Amino acid sequence: MNEHQSNAEQLILQAARKVFIEKGMEGARMQEIADEAGINKALLHYYFRSKDKLFQAVFLEAFQKFLPQIEMLINSELPFIQKLEIFINNYITIIIENPYIPGFILHELAQNPQRMAELMKNQVVVVPEFLAQLQQEIKNGVIKPFDPRQILINTLALCIFPFVARPIIQAVFFSDNSENYNVFLEQRKVAVYNFIRSAIFIEKP
């Protein structure tokens, strides 16, 4: 039993991760995953019973990778300005490291909302306290009176969208040199923070 074979399960997961996230559930082929892992196709079914089970494992793992930061943004009791800066920095950093996961999750979610809802119902984050905190800071005159739900969604939108729309943005702005896009994304960590801060925070005289 050499190292290569012994961790076949890890090899499979790694290959499945790549293929599923790149091609999606419908586009992925079991044979391609097997090839990518350098093993026989039957071995996939030996470790994971079906394509669906393997997909579940990949999806949940991908989903959970993005949860902790969101939980921090929602559940921490720091002032919102501080939470926001930390969140945007960490979140964009994570997405840069896993640029295809957001598109993957959103697409599978759209394909089968009710099933994905079941997969995620143990993962739920509680938002009411978050909304209450924002409402409080609005009452305190720290934040302009925007709907807290809109603020949360805007924050996520600004972080996630450039990755979901990467091909078209790159074609428009960086068609000559795609490496510049990474620079652009790096700049976004501070740009997005400044943008939201400028939008919602009331400047004290």
Partner DNA sequence: ATTTGATTTAACCAACTGGTCAAAAGTAAA
Partner DNA sequence: TTTACTTTTGACCAGTTGGTTAAATCAAAT
List interacting residues with DNA (CB under 7 A).
1-2, 5-6, 8, 28-31, 39-43, 45-46, 49-52
Q: How far is CA 117 from CA 108, 113, 121, 125, 139, in A?
A: 11, 6, 6, 13, 34
List the x/- string, 94-123, binding to its own copies by CB under 8 A. Answer: ------x--x--xx-xxx-x--xx--x---
Give the integer Cα–Cα distance in Å for 69 and 74: 9
Chain residues 157-186 in contact with its own copies, contact rule CB under 8 A = 157-158, 160-162, 164-173, 184
Chain residues 7-66 in contact with its own copies, contact rule CB under 8 A = 23-24, 26-27
Q: Give the shortest CB-88-to-DNA separation in angstroms.
A: 37
Residue 179 CA to chain centroid, in angstroms?
Answer: 22
The stretch among 5-13, 44-52, 82-90, 145-153 that binds its own copies (CB under 8 A) is 145-153
Select the binding partner of residue 153 from DNA, its own copies, none (C-beta < 5 to 8 A, by kind).
Answer: its own copies
* Contacts (Cβ under 8 Å, ≥6 apart) of 130: 73, 74, 75, 148, 152
CB nearer to DNA: pick between 8 and 81:
8
Contact assessment for residue 104 and residue 62, using Cβ atoms and an 8 Å cutoff: yes
